[in-house]
């Protein structure tokens, strides 16, 4: 069902989904998206100004606008002095911003996707732990390492849900995401309760079927034993009767 590598990847995917949920909450509650938009607009404005200056400087050089009359040596000296700033390139790194900044609606959709991924991986891992628990309980001599491993998995799953629930119920949760969490968690809790009820019904039905199967097997054994015992008694009585009949004629 699951191997250690798959389990590790599932836990990492659940953590990645949690990080995505955290980003969506921070982006909407702290206004990071708006700040990024302002920085992007400011950066674009600076780029336009710099491009305009560069174009105007090129045109001025082509048509000799702003050139000062001077001697050859002076002009050559000033020309060399002017060439240095042009040849020199800025090495300072500039802040890079994404070409597309998600709006509020897009972040909400990302939140829904991350939340769905978190609960999907959480559900898969929880089902695996429950399945392994049943195997351990049914084992005559359970391995203590298996029990410890399952305890670690159970603890990580519980902590992950508690951490997510605490973040989404906190005072800093954005108003766009709070109702989504409440509705989703409420529906998901009902679904879990119904699934747990069906699992319990299936478990009870399986136990009844196992009991009937074992009982039928036991009845067959008892029937065969009774028939065998009856056959032995009948054979013994037949042997006694034959023996007594033979002795009567001798």
User: Which pLDDT tens digit goes with each residue over 74-88?
Assistant: 444 444 444 444 444
Name the residue with higher pLDDT: 241 or 115: 115
Where are the strands (E) in 161-233, listed by range? none
pLDDT at 12: 93
Model pLDDT, residue 88: 46
**How far apart (Å, rounded) are the C-alpha atoms in residues 87 and 150?**
66
Q: Is residue 102 within 8 Å of 5, Cβ to Cβ?
A: no
Asked if residue 131 lies in contact with residue 146, where contact means CB atoms within 8 angstroms, the answer is no
- Token match 């390139």: residue? 89
Q: What gap in Å lies between CA 48 and CA 45, rounded to an integer?
A: 5
Find which of 14-28, 139-153, 188-202 is predicted with most confidence, using mean pLDDT: 14-28
Which tokens is 24 given?
A: 């969506």
| Predicted local confidence at residue 55, as pLDDT | 52
Q: Is the dihedral of CA 136, 138, 139, 144 positive or negative?
A: positive
Is residue 199 pLDDT above 90, yes or no? no
Average pLDDT of the residues in 119-138? 87
Give dist(CA 15, CA 160) in Å, integer.
8
Mean pLDDT of the chain: 75
Most confident of 8-22, 99-113, 211-225: 8-22
The band of 54, judged by pLDDT with boundaries at 50, 70 and 90, is low
Q: What is the pLDDT of residue 99?
A: 61
Pick from 47-51, 85-89, 94-98, 111-115 the range whose average pLDDT is largest: 111-115
- The span from the CA of 111 to the CA of 18, in Å, is 10
Does the pLDDT of residue 149 top 60, yes or no?
A: yes
Q: How far is CA 203 from CA 103, 193, 199, in A?
A: 48, 15, 6
What pLDDT is attached to residue 98? Answer: 55
| pTM score over 0.85 | no
Per-residue pLDDT at 15: 93
For residue 16, what pLDDT is reported?
94
Place of tokens 């390492």: 145
């Amino acid at each position: 069902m699951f191997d250690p590598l798959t389990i590790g990847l599932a836990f990492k995917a659940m953590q990645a989904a949690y990080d995505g949920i955290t980003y969506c909450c921070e982006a909407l509650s702290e206004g990071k998206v708006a700040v990024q938009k302002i920085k992007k607009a400011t950066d674009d404005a600076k780029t336009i100004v710099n491009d305009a200056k560069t174009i105007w400087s090129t045109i001025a050089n082509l048509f000799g606008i702003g050139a000062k009359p001077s001697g050859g040596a002076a002009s050559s000296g000033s020309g060399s002095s002017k060439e240095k700033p042009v040849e020199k390139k800025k090495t300072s790194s500039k802040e890079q911003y994404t070409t597309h900044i998600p709006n509020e609606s897009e972040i909400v959709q990302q939140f829904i996707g991350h939340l769905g991924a978190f609960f999907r991986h959480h559900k898969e891992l929880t089902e695996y732990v429950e399945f392994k628990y049943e195997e351990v309980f049914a084992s005559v001599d359970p391995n203590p390492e298996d029990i410890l491993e399952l305890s670690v998995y159970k603890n990580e799953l519980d902590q992950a849900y508690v951490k997510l629930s605490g973040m989404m119920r906190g005072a800093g949760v954005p108003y766009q995401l709070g109702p989504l969490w409440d509705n989703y968690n409420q529906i998901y809790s009902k679904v879990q309760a119904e699934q747990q009820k069906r699992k319990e019904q299936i478990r009870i039905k399986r136990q009844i079927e196992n009991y009937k199967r074992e009982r039928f097997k036991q009845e067959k054994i008892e029937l065969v034993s009774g028939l065998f015992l009856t056959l032995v008694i009948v054979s013994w009585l037949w042997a006694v009767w034959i023996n007594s009949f033979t002795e009567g004629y001798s």
